[in-house]
Amino acid sequence: MDKLQVQGDESVLLRVTHSNIKSFASDVRFSLQMTVEAVKDKLWKKCGTSVESMCLELYDDTGAKVSDLADNTRPLGFYSPQDGFRLHVVDLDPSSVTSGGWLEDTSLVEKYKISDEAYNKLDGTYKKFKERMGDQHSNLESKISYNYMEDLCANIKVGDRCQVEVGEKRGIVKFVGQAETLAPGFWVGIQYDEPLGKHDGMCVILNFM
Angstrom distances, CA of residue 111 to CA of 101, 107, 114, 150: 16, 9, 10, 55
Distance CA 21, CA 109 (A): 16
Res 5: pLDDT: 34
**Rg, the chain, Cα only:** 34
**pLDDT, tens digit (0-9, with 9 covering 90-100), for 94-104:** 887 777 666 66
Mean pLDDT of the chain: 81
Burial class from Cβ neighbours inside 10 Å (0-12, 13-18, 19+) for residue 39 reads buried
Contacts with 190 (C-beta within 8 Å, 6 or more apart), sequence order: 162, 164, 171, 172, 173, 174, 203, 204, 205, 206
**pLDDT, tens digit (0-9, with 9 covering 90-100), for 8-62:** 458 999 999 998 888 888 899 999 999 999 999 999 988 888 999 999 999 999 9
The residue among 145, 148, 161, 132 whose CA lies nearest residue 187 is 148
Distance CA 100, CA 102 (A): 6
For residues 171-181, average pLDDT: 84
Give yes or no for residue 129 having a pLDDT over 70: yes
For residues 181-199, average pLDDT: 77
Mean pLDDT is lowest, of 11-25, 142-156, 163-177, for 142-156
Maximum average pLDDT range among 60-74, 112-126, 129-143, 161-175: 60-74
Give yes or no for residue 203 having a pLDDT over 70: no
Q: What share of the chain is helix, strand, coil (3-state, %, to 5)?
A: 25, 30, 45
The CB density around residue 20, as the number of other CB atoms within 10 Å, is 21
Is the CB of residue 83 less than 8 Å from the CB of residue 28? no
